[in-house]
Amino acid sequence: MHAVSPKAFLAIGTMAVLAACGGTANNSSGTSSSGSTQSVDLKIMVGGLNKQIYLPNMLAKQLGYFDAEKINITLIDEGSGQGSELEVLAGNVDAGSGAYSHPVELNAQGKKIETICQFGIAPGEAEMVATKKAGSIKSAADLKGKNLGVTDIGSGTHTLTMALLGKQGVSADQAHYVAVGAGDTFIAAIKNGTIDAGMTTEPTITRLLQSGDAKVLIDLRTPESTRAALGGDYPFIGIFARNDWVSSHQDVAQRLVNVYVKTLKWMKAHTASDIAAKMPADYLVPSKDLYIQALQNQLSIFGTDCKMPSAGPQTVLSIEQNYVSSFKGKSANLSDTYTNKFASNAS
């Protein structure tokens, strides 16, 4: 079991023979005719493995929970959830880890992927403003006409940014969006003035605060602050897969959700320091102490049972319809975009 980079994934992609229904699971049910559980190979593309909002993916691997469910996991690192959804749709990976807004947006296009585990019940993001611009940018309304950083165009951070602007009466086309990724590339963009402000995650937020290069303009690192900023619960990161894959791999989907429910319960019972101690050393950038502090700031964004917050889907849909220009006049069948079935049956 190992994580691979997108480049490495692409290099091996042409060698893989993928099932016509999408994905790479080596057994459609994962159960033999005698009823015993068989090992399956699964590929999950994650929109930034070392971002703390995606932490349950690597933590589950480190805790051995994939092994316990006889899942031979390959976690593939991708710069944003946007890339993950496209690879899931193409059938190049079995599942993706990204924002719930992706299944909603795709559903409106007649493309069906569904979230089977919602582990991020709030974004765990913050709109950061460069310190040298903080004097003139004091609210989302002041972002009008500014260069705003997002992980990628069409990403969950892009959607969130448009929502924050829209809530202040600023239309999406009244700002300039720049794809700057996260971590070092986001920090560089703040420092060199490529962006005036931008949406990013931990531990990038705490790194910028400690260096003094940026300040928090709008905080989405707790469910409470998210409700205040967006007007309701906003489910963010989870695990999604094509609806037809889920339908034909129900045993595997259940085992996958079991992994994440166990992981979330373990997180709930342990401290940020305990969690950091389980993560790979190269994730603890620039230091273990900073990583722990950053995680403490947002531990409340993680749910405990993989279930979708009851009002969350409608909040996401309303934000899409009201503030995302490409979604104007569209709708989505929310019942096709997520399921609590596997979370309810998790063991």
DSSP code per residue over 110-122: T--EEEEEE-BSS
Run of H or E including 343 = helix 341-344
Q: Are strands 95-99 and 125-130 parallel, antiparallel or unpaired?
A: unpaired
Contact (Cβ atoms closer than 8 angstroms) between residue 147 and residue 194? yes
Q: For the domain covering 2-122+235-344, report its CATH number.
A: 3.40.190.10
Task: Report d(CA 73, CA 1) in Å as an integer.
Answer: 6
Q: In terms of Cα–Cα distance, which of 106, 203, 76, 201 is closest to 150?
A: 201
Q: In terms of Cα–Cα distance, which of 209, 237, 243 is closest to 341?
A: 243
Task: Report d(CA 167, CA 139) in Å as an integer.
Answer: 11
Tell me the domain boundaries of the chain.
Answer: 2-122+235-344, 125-220
Helices (DSSP H) in the chain: which residue ranges? 6-13, 55-62, 65-68, 81-90, 101-107, 156-167, 184-191, 204-211, 223-230, 243-248, 250-268, 272-278, 288-296, 312-323, 341-344
Predicted pLDDT at 26: 58
Predicted pLDDT at 37: 87
CATH of 125-220, one of 3.30.2350.10, 3.65.10.10, 3.40.50.720, 3.40.190.10: 3.40.190.10
Contact (Cβ atoms closer than 8 angstroms) between residue 168 and residue 140? yes
How far from the centroid of its chain's Cα atoms is residue 313's Cα?
15
Task: Report d(CA 166, CA 131) in Å as an integer.
Answer: 23
How far from the centroid of its chain's Cα atoms is residue 343's Cα?
18
2-122+235-344 and 125-220, same CATH topology: yes
Q: What amino acid occupies position 231?
A: G
Residue appearing with tokens 């296009």: 109
The backbone torsions φ and ψ at residue 201, rounded to the nearest 5 degrees and listed phi first, read: -115, 175
* Six token digits for residue 344: 């309810």
Contact (Cβ atoms closer than 8 angstroms) between residue 257 and residue 66? no
DSSP 294: H
Q: In terms of Cα–Cα distance, which of 238, 227, 229, 222 is closest to 340?
A: 238
Length in residues, the chain: 347
Task: Report d(CA 81, CA 254) in Å as an integer.
Answer: 22
Q: Which residues pair with 179 in a beta bridge?
A: 150
Q: What is the Cα Rg of the chain in Å? A: 19
Q: Which residues pair with 302 in a beta bridge?
A: 120
pLDDT tens by residue, the chain, 347 residues: 444 444 344 333 333 333 333 456 655 456 543 356 899 999 999 999 999 999 999 999 999 999 999 999 999 998 766 789 999 999 999 999 999 999 999 999 999 999 999 999 999 999 999 999 999 999 999 999 999 999 999 999 999 999 999 999 999 999 999 999 999 999 999 999 999 999 999 999 999 999 999 999 999 999 999 999 999 999 999 999 999 999 999 999 999 999 999 999 999 999 999 999 999 999 998 999 999 999 999 999 999 999 999 999 999 999 999 999 899 999 999 999 999 999 999 98
* Six token digits for residue 215: 């300040």
Query: For residue 15, what are the contacts with CB-CB under 8 A and spacing of at least 6?
Result: none
Predicted pLDDT at 254: 98
Predicted pLDDT at 28: 45
Task: Report d(CA 120, CA 276) in Å as an integer.
Answer: 18
Letter string b/e over residues 54-73, b meaning 16 or more CB atoms within 10 A of that residue's CB: bbbbbbbbbbebbeebebeb
Predicted pLDDT at 29: 55
Contact (Cβ atoms closer than 8 angstroms) between residue 183 and residue 283? no
